[in-house]
Amino acid sequence: MFEVSPVYEENFNSKAKIKINQGGTWSGKTYSILQLLCTHAISDPNSITTVAGQDVPNLKAGPIRDFQTILKTTPGLPRFIESYNKSDRVVQFHNGSIIEFKSYEDAQDAHSGKRTRLFINECNGVSYEIFKQLYIRTSKDVFLDYNPSSEFWVHELVLGNRSLYPSVQRIISDHRHNPFLTQEQHDSIERLKYEDEETFKVYARGLTGKIEGAVLTRCFMIEDDQYPNDAKLLGGGLDFGFTNDPTGFLEVRMQEGELWVREHIYETGLTNPMISERLKELNWNSRDEIIADSAEPKSIKELQDLRWKVEPAMKGPDSIRSSIEILNRYKINYTRSSVNFHKEQKAYIYKKDRKTGKSTNEPIDAFNHLIDPLRYVALNKLSAYNKPVKAPKYSF
């Protein structure tokens, strides 16, 4: 029924109870595991499958969205499905099987319920205690997936720990295992080679690395209801993408000397009229400024003609560094729903010098589709604030 990739085959053929899918970005881990979970749900009546994630926003942006794509693009699949309860996030199959999408607050929360199969998506965002509680209540397969940006409990407590976890297989994949990507998509991942060795190793090869040295040093996650909706709006930040890179749009507010950030758009394939539609759906006020990538004057003009108040970012020769310097003067609070911003601020690091291994002061040109718009707002709206006080010149 499914068009599958080698990642699916590997997982399907694995005899191990725990299938650890370590991999680079876009290798097809999440998609393949979800397809396989459907295969099992159909062939194993009355089975219960739990797809777990760090929190509901991550489930929605990740596995739930992928599941919906699989459902839409697999002609034979819908006839097996009775219903999807959106509020409970439960897929009910005609044969009595279910697939539920859940997140757990803590280990105690994970004590409830038993299941046939478990998938923890991006499991490095979930604690070991939660994994353990879910694992011991799972009778058949356990699937884990993650990008290995650093070692964590999978490496420290699961791999090689035969007494507790006797049946484990690690499947390492990268984008070269995914036949469903375009050549441009493959090329854009391979280009990480020119950015940073460690980043390339993790995201292009799926090998365990040690990503450190975040460029933005003062980012903090807040709950969505802590976001100050009435704080002073500095503006929206917009970065244009299309085929490979997503279009990124976020809003930035200022309150009590801190920045408050909320992600709104992170999506590929958006034309300018589509961006305009998205802004309408967001109820973005057409009088509120949007600061956009000045490298795309044509797009800026098109959005202006559609009545949006878009202005180009004041980029200059050293503006990457200067905007980062400005941003790092502030505590940056971002909402839990800003899942892509959360990922980018962790992956956006300074390039390392290939010879010395030391961080340079040049950030990588990747994972910046929401970081750049934030910088644009900083460039146009913050440079006037908090200017470092220059020491007066004295002549003796």
Ligand X SMILES: Nc1ncnc2c1ncn2[C@@H]1O[C@H](COP(=O)(O)OP(=O)(O)OP(=O)(O)O)[C@@H](O)[C@H]1O
Selected from 11, 25, 188, 299, the binder of ligand X by CB under 6 A is 25
Residue 218: exposure state from Cβ atoms within 10 A (0-12, 13-18, ≥19): middle
Q: Is residue 58 within the footprint of ligand X (CB under 6 A)?
A: no
Q: Is residue 30 within the footprint of ligand X (CB under 6 A)?
A: yes
Residue 366 contact partner, candidates ligand X, Mg ion, none, CB within 5 to 8 A by sort of partner: none
Least Å distance, CB 36 to ligand X, is 10
In the complex, the residues that contact Mg ion under the rule CB under 5 A are: 30
- In which element (H, E) is residue 57 found? helix 56-59
What is the spatial distance between Cα 122 and Cα 103, in angstroms, rounded to a whole number?
Answer: 12
Using the rule CB under 6 A, give the single segment among 43-51, 178-186, 215-223, 272-280 that binds ligand X: 178-186
Least Å distance, CB 25 to ligand X, is 4
Least Å distance, CB 27 to ligand X, is 4
3-state per-residue secondary structure call for 268-324: CCCCHHHHHHHHHHCCCCCCCCEEECCCCHHHHHHHHHCCCCEEECCCCCCHHHHHH
Least Å distance, CB 66 to Mg ion, is 8
First to last CA, the chain: 84
CB proximity list for 74: less than 8 A, separation 6 or greater: 1, 2, 35
Residue 5 contact partner, candidates Mg ion, ligand X, none, CB within 5 to 8 A by sort of partner: ligand X
Q: Is residue 11 within the footprint of ligand X (CB under 6 A)?
A: no
Show contacts with ligand X in window 117-156 (CB under 6 A).
147
Selected from 26, 135, 165, 266, the binder of ligand X by CB under 6 A is 26
Residue 59 backbone class (left: φ over 0; alpha: ψ -120 to 50; beta: rest): alpha
Least Å distance, CB 207 to ligand X, is 13
What is the residue whose two structure tokens read 């490095």? 124
The CB-nearest residue to Mg ion is 30
Is the CB of residue 348 less than 8 Å from the CB of residue 368? Answer: yes
Selected from 11, 14, 27, 103, the binder of ligand X by CB under 6 A is 27
Amino acid at 322: S
Point out which residues bind ligand X (CB under 6 A). 3-5, 23, 25-32, 147, 178, 180-181
